Chain A
């Protein structure tokens, strides 16, 4: 009994015939690029390392993004301190409303001791 013919068989037969010949110029170009890459001097010292890092667009974008994140973080730290101070001022003004004749230095000392 003869096995059924595989449709891939004919494709494999044609494959070897239809592969185009590699041009000589392509070979030369590839070897030229390899030689170029090897002959480029490797970065020497920390400044060269930084320079080569900054030359990469991905690094530059990441650096700018990191600067923005740092700016946002510092803004949050400032806001947190501001909210803390403001909370103390509002508490004092509320107590001033409830008891204006209170000695607020004493009240503050008591409140801080309580905390």
Chain B
């Protein structure tokens, strides 16, 4: 009886240790930064080293500007939600401020549109036709949704 308990305990302890050691050693990093995104693109499209280097350069060149524009879009989205909240609660908003926000937003969206199109066009230019089709299959719905919904 004592021996059974001992062997069972040893089995459970060794199994648990093996499980957590393996899991922790191979757990992916939680951050979804540009590097991780590029690794995902590489794996999904099966890019070769040369293609990956070119696409990485393109993203590193245009990515920071897009990230900065993205944070502006997020800020303006929050401001717009605040305006909407004000309209519902108090029944009135500052139309001059609202118009300024809309104008700013249009400019940012135009800028964003130009940069993202440049990035997508430059990225697809280094791909094979099959990779290009797969890539556009992934990004086209997002671009089309953004075009349909520029003020989100």
Q: With A and B bound together, what is the CA distance between A106 and B40 in angstroms?
A: 22
Q: With A and B bound together, what is the CA distance between A106 and B144 in angstroms?
A: 10
Q: With A and B bound together, what is the CA distance between A114 and B74 in angstroms?
A: 28
Asked if residues B7 and A54 are in contact (CB atoms below 8 Å), the reply is yes
Q: Is the interface of A mostly helix, strand, loop or mixed?
A: helix
Q: From A66, A82, A99, A110, give the contact of B11 (CB < 8 A).
A: A66
Tell me which residues across on chain A come within 8 A of B143, comparing CB atoms.
98-99, 102
- Encode B26-69 as 1/0 by CB contact (under 8 A) with A: 11100010101100110010000000000000000001001101
Q: From A86, A99, A104, give the contact of B28 (CB < 8 A).
A: A86
Q: With contacts defined as CB atoms under 8 Å apart, how many contacts are there between chain A and chain B in the complex?
A: 131
Q: How many residues of A contact B (CB 8 A)?
A: 43
Q: Does B96 contact A (CB under 8 A)?
A: no
Tell me which residues across on chain B come within 8 A of A111, comparing CB atoms.
138, 141
Tell me which residues across on chain B come within 8 A of A86, comparing CB atoms.
28, 32
Residues on A lying within 8 angstroms of B by beta carbon are 50-51, 54-55, 60, 63-64, 66-72, 74-76, 78-79, 82-83, 86-87, 89-91, 93-104, 106-107, 110-111, 114
13 contacts between A and B (CB under 8 A): A60-B7, A64-B14, A71-B16, A71-B18, A72-B19, A75-B18, A76-B22, A86-B28, A97-B66, A100-B73, A100-B74, A106-B145, A110-B141
Extra contacts, 20 of them, besides A71-B17, A72-B22, A100-B74 (Cβ < 8 A), are A54-B3, A60-B3, A64-B7, A66-B11, A67-B18, A69-B18, A70-B15, A71-B18, A75-B26, A82-B28, A83-B28, A90-B32, A93-B32, A99-B145, A101-B150, A102-B142, A102-B149, A102-B152, A104-B142, A104-B145
